[in-house]
Amino acid sequence: MSEKQSGLGAYFEELKRRKVIRVGIAYVVGAWVLMQVADATFEPLKLPQWSTTFVLWLLALGFPIALILAWALEVTPEGIRRTRKRRRKPVSTTKQATAAEAEHTIAVLPFTDMSPEKDQDHFCEGMAEEIINSLASIRGVQVASRTSSFQFKGTSMDIDAIGERLNVQTVLEGSVRKDGNDLRVTAQLINVADGFHIWSKSFERELKGVFGIQKEIAESVARAFKLSISPSTEKAIEHQPTQNMEAYEAYLRGRRHFYQFNDSEWRKASVEFSRAIDLDPDYALAYAGLADCYSLIYMYTDSSVSNRQQAETNSRLALQLAPDVAQVHASRGLALSHSKREDGAEAAFKRAIELDPMLYDAYYYYGRHALAKAKYEQAAELFEKAEKLRPDDYQAVNLLVQVYRTLGREEDRAEATKRTLELIKRRLQTTPDDIRALCLGAGCAIDAGQPELGLEWLERARAGSPDDPVTYYNIACAYAGLGEIDKALECLEKSMYGISEASLEWMENDSDLDPLRDHPRYKALVEKR
Give the per-residue SS3 of 32-43: HHHHHHHHHHCC
Quick one: pLDDT at residue 512?
82
Angle, CA 468 vertex, CA 465 and CA 473 arms, to 5°: 105
CA distances from 328 to 172, 255, 349, 353 (A): 27, 15, 10, 11
* Cβ-Cβ contacts under 8 Å for 93 (sequence gap 6 or more): none
Residues 234 and 253 in one domain: no
Of 372, 361, 363, give the one whose Cα is nearest residue 299.
372
Residues 226 and 104 in one domain: yes
Please give the average pLDDT of every successive group of 10 residues along the chain, which has 529 residues: 47 57 77 77 75 78 76 53 48 35 79 86 89 87 88 82 88 89 90 87 88 90 86 80 93 93 90 97 97 92 89 97 95 91 92 92 95 93 94 92 94 94 90 88 89 90 79 83 86 67 70 86 76
Q: Does residue 145 form part of some domain?
A: yes
Residues 6+ apart with CB under 8 A from 335: 291, 294, 295, 308, 311, 312, 314, 315
Residue 44, domain extent: 3-76
Residues 46 and 131 in one domain: no
In a domain, 40, yes or no: yes
Residue at which a domain ends, from 76, 111, 126: 76
Query: Which pLDDT score is estimated for 420?
Result: 95
CATH for 510 = 1.25.40.10
HSE-CB for 192 with a 13 A CA cutoff: 23
Residues 259 and 289 in one domain: yes
pTM across the whole model: 0.76
CB 195 within 8 A of CB 17: yes
**Domain count of the chain?**
4
- Residue 12 is predicted with a pLDDT of 55
Co-location of 234 and 102 in the same domain: yes
At residue 21, the pLDDT reads 74
Same-domain check for residues 153 and 116: yes
- Tell me: do 405 and 528 sit in the same domain: yes
**Same domain for 48 and 102?**
no
Note the pLDDT of residue 303.
81
Q: Are 233 and 111 members of one domain?
A: yes
> Do residues 119 and 99 share a domain?
yes
Measured CA to CA, the distance from residue 160 to residue 166 in angstroms comes to 10
The pLDDT tens digits of the residues spanning 360-411 come to 999 999 999 999 889 999 999 999 999 998 888 899 999 999 999 999 999 9
Strand partners, 174: 187
Q: What are phi and psi of 199, to 5 degrees?
A: -160, 160
Q: Which of 336, 357, 378 is the last residue of a domain?
A: 357
**Final residue of a structural domain among 216, 238, 260:** 238
In a domain, 310, yes or no: yes
State the number of CA atoms in the 13 A half-sphere of 52 facing the CB: 15
Q: Is residue 407 part of a domain?
A: yes
| Within-domain flag for 262 | yes
Specify whether 412 is located in the same domain as 527: yes
Between CA 484 and CA 463 the distance in angstroms is 19
Close Cβ partners of 412 (under 8 Å, ≥ 6 residues apart): 400, 404
Please tell me the predicted confidence (pLDDT) of residue 6. Answer: 44
The verdict on residue 378 lying in a domain is no
Please state, in angstroms and as integers, the Cα–Cα distance from residue 157 to each residue in 84, 152, 485, following that order. 10, 8, 43
pLDDT of residue 387: 93
Separation of alpha carbons 102 and 92, rounded Å: 14
What is the biggest distance separating any 2 CA atoms in the chain, rounded to whole angstroms? 104
Contact partners, residue 252, CB within 8 Å, separation at least 6: 122, 123, 125, 126
For residues 401 and 478, state if they share a domain: yes
Does 87 fall in a domain?
no
- How far apart are the C-alpha atoms of 457 and 452, rounded to whole Å? 9
Q: Is residue 371 part of a domain?
A: no
